[in-house]
């Protein structure tokens, strides 16, 4: 008989792998207003699996077993509560046109239907009325199989806060009677943009965690890429923005193994071992970027992906085409004038026109209150001053940066810079 620990580990894997599919199709059956019921059915299927597999052994196809069990539980609920539940309107015809409930649910659990249902679920979770925090939390919970404790850890908040956030989001879905559908053509472009923005925020939170001990949450980044791929395979998402975002995430994710040392320290780009970069992911990024270019539409994701591609194809830091990167940032800043873009452009500017020119430009943008309270502004300034051997001023900038970040990996990196400056001054 399999060990309890073995079954528990396998169920954790399959919950992360299969729960998004299951919750999506069950939400289609019960309607978005009953999303929590869909999640409960999946949890019940997991509990039953734990008991059944312990007594009878692990099935040859655990995913199929879980799918069948969830399907049966959904059928029991429909037979028991058919007239009590508010089922999704677009599914009522399946139960009223002479089909048996068994036939209808079998149709809904087909592979093709599940794939479309995942996409519909994305649009439900990314409805603009929910707010960005609620959107990302819902996606992590319903589509990515993250527990409330994992979501709380990712955002360094309490489980109570995440629970309340999810409760409010589900209530909003009920109050607004949000449909389980791919939006009509007249609203589709705007809604796809909303989905992409949410996925982008999800990836960025994983790529550079704003708080806590971990600088990278690879599991969150992997889920963001997976959801984007699902979107890119559907006609609704086959566009330049989707392909561009996929390219950007693939390029950035390709450097994960080189960004963090075994001790958990951040390794900056110029110090990274490029042999650790994931070449297949870089090739995937290049393929998506080529697809995006074929659409003939330039967007923020496309330019960012092109910048990341410049880094990925360079054989060394010294051989990086900084002039091309600066040109791309000059183009990007017309679309996106955010602090991150401004600061990244400053770095490219310093490589092309020198540190003094970069510091002058830094003065010009320092009037922005948002930049003065942004740790990277002071970290970039400190780095430029270090390169000019102005150790005293560099130290002041890094000390200011240290007061503005709550990520322990970033604090550790900044502390090393401060120590370097201190040693040079003695």
Mean pLDDT of 369-389: 89
What's the predicted TM-score (pTM) here? Answer: 0.81
Any domain includes 113: no
On the 0-12 / 13-18 / 19+ scale of CB atoms within 10 A, 316 is exposed
Any domain includes 370: yes
Any domain includes 74: no
Query: How confident is the model at residue 255, as a pLDDT?
Result: 93
CA 408: distance to chain centroid? 21
The domain in which residue 369 lies consists of 351-426
Phi/psi region, residue 357 (left: phi>0; alpha: psi -120 to 50; beta: rest), is alpha
Confidence of residue 99 (pLDDT cuts 50, 70, 90): very low
211 beta partners? 406
* CA-based nearest residue to 324, from 298, 351, 302: 351
Query: How confident is the model at residue 96, as a pLDDT?
Result: 47
CATH code where residue 360 lies: 1.25.40
Mean pLDDT of 358-387: 87
Q: Using CA atoms, how far apart are residues 4 and 1, in angstroms rounded to an integer?
A: 9
Mention every residue, 6+ apart, whose C-beta is less than 8 A from residue 407: 208, 209, 210, 211, 212, 215
Any domain includes 412: yes
Number of folded domains in the chain? Answer: 1
Residue by residue, DSSP assigns 361-426 as HHHHHTT-HHHHT-HHHHHHHHHHHHHTT-HHHHHHHHHHHHTS-EEHHHHHHHHHHHHHHHHHH-
On the 0-12 / 13-18 / 19+ scale of CB atoms within 10 A, 175 is exposed
Query: How confident is the model at residue 292, as a pLDDT?
Result: 95
pLDDT at residue 6 tops 60: yes
Any domain includes 289: no
Any domain includes 264: no
pLDDT at residue 312 tops 60: yes
Any domain includes 381: yes
Mean pLDDT of 195-200: 89
Q: Tokens 């970027």 sit at which residue?
A: 289
More confident: 186 or 341: 341
Any domain includes 13: no
């Amino acid at each position: 008989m399999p060990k309890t620990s073995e079954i528990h580990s396998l169920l954790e894997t399959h919950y992360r792998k299969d729960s998004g599919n299951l919750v999506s199709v069950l939400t289609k059956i019960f309607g978005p207003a009953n999303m929590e019921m869909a999640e409960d059915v999946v949890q019940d299927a997991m509990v039953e699996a734990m008991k059944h597999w312990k007594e009878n052994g692990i099935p040859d196809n655990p995913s199929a077993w879980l799918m069948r069990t969830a399907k049966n539980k959904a059928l029991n609920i429909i037979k028991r509560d058919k007239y009590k539940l508010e089922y999704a309107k677009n599914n009522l015809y399946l139960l009223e046109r002479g089909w048996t409930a068994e036939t209808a649910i079998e149709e809904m659990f087909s592979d093709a239907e599940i794939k479309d249902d995942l996409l519909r679920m994305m649009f439900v979770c990314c409805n603009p009325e929910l707010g960005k925090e609620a959107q990302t939390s819902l996606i992590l919970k319903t589509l990515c199989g993250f527990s409330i404790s994992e979501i709380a850890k990712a955002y360094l908040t309490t489980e109570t806060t995440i629970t309340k956030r999810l409760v409010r989001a589900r209530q909003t879905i009920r109050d607004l009677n949000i449909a389980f559908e791919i939006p009509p053509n007249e609203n589709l472009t705007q809604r796809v943009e909303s989905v992409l923005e949410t996925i982008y925020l999800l990836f960025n939170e994983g790529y550079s965690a704003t708080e806590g001990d971990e600088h990278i949450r690879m599991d969150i980044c992997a889920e963001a890429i997976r959801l984007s791929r699902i979107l890119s395979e559907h006609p609704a998402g086959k566009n330049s923005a989707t392909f561009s975002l996929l390219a950007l995430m693939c390029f950035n994710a390709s450097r994960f193994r080189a960004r963090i040392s075994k001790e958990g320290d951040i390794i900056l780009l110029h110090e990274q071992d490029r042999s650790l970069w994931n070449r297949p992911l870089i090739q995937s990024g290049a393929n998506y970027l080529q697809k995006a270019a074929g659409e003939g539409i330039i967007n923020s994701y496309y330019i960012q992906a092109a910048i990341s591609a410049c880094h990925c194809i360079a054989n060394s830091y010294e051989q990086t085409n900084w002039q091309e990167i600066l040109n791309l940032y000059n183009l990007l800043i017309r679309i996106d004038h955010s602090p991150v873009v401004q600061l990244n452009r400053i770095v490219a500017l310093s490589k092309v026109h020198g540190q003094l020119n970069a510091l002058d430009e830094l003065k010009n943008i320092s009037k922005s209150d948002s930049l003065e309270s942004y740790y990277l502004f002071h970290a970039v300034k400190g780095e430029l001053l270090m390169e000019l051997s102005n150790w005293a001023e560099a130290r002041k900038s890094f000390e200011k940066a240290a007061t503005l970040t709550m990520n322990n990996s970033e604090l550790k990196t900044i502390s090393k810079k401060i120590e370097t400056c201190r040693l040079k001054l003695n």
